[in-house]
Amino acid sequence: PNAGKSTFISSVSAAKPKIANYPFTTLEPHLGVVRLDAETEFIIADIPGIIEGASQGKGLGHQFLRHIERARVLCVLVDLAPMDGMSATEQERILLHELGEYRPDLLERPHLVVATKTDAADADALDNWKGLKMSAVTRDGVRKVLGELADLVKHARTLEPPKQGAVVLKPQAEGTKIEKLDD
């Protein structure tokens, strides 16, 4: 909750979710189309925040987690300037635990963990996080995150078998035959 998911989607797509500085601003998923160039395009979804215990149904856990099932790639955002003071590493641990408890196969999907709000984070939080970092407000690091996501989406698409079109069987007309059986 409040990790900057809505700010991120609004900065990389035409989606216009409600953005506010309090947890659980997002109550329903928002979709946006990301276009990096003529060949690179994917849909990104902003889902409501997940809290500890969501996999057991705490809060609106199952309703929120259900939205993740259709995603080929996951991007987990952790907050470098959280209101509750929880470290980004602890946020990552909780979020990945909740995903795995809800559906273990979600952890097998390609995923990226990104720390957000680099513009508001203190020096310790920035130094302690060794993974990808960005600020959707200043756009610092956003292009790199999108590039990484695009690579994961491209790879995930190759893992999925091509969709088969519907098979329609149409019998061939053989003409008309009249046969007299009796009077």
Distances (CA, A) of 130 to 43, 106, 133: 27, 23, 8
Question: What's the pLDDT tens digit per position in 69-93?
Answer: 888 899 999 999 987 888 999 989 9
Structure tokens at 175: 């003409």
Average pLDDT over residues 147-162: 87
**Cβ proximity of 82 and 91 under 8 Å:** yes
Dump strand ranges (E) for the chain.
30-35, 41-46, 74-79, 111-116, 132-133
User: Given this model, what pLDDT does residue 57 score?
Assistant: 57
| 49-73 pLDDT per residue, tens | 676 655 555 555 556 667 778 888 9
Check whether 180 has a pLDDT greater than 70.
yes
Whole-angstrom Cα distance, residue 155 to residue 93?
Answer: 25
- Give the pLDDT mean for 104-123: 92
Q: Return the residue matching tokens 């060949």.
A: 39
Q: Measure the CA–CA gap between 48 and 144, rounded to whole angstroms.
A: 24
Q: Give the pLDDT confidence of 4-46 residue by residue, as tens digits.
A: 777 888 888 866 654 555 455 555 677 888 888 888 888 888 8
Region 148-176: mean pLDDT is 81
Looking at residue 96, the DSSP 8-state letter turns out to be H
Measured CA to CA, the distance from residue 30 to residue 15 in angstroms comes to 7
Which of helix, strand or coil describes residue 50?
coil
Q: Distance (Å, rounded) from C-alpha 24 to C-alpha 20? A: 9
Helix, coil or strand: residue 109: coil
Q: Which helix (H) or strand (E) holds 139?
A: none
| Beta strands across the sheet bearing 74-79 | 74-79, 111-116, 132-133
Q: What is the pLDDT of residue 27?
A: 57
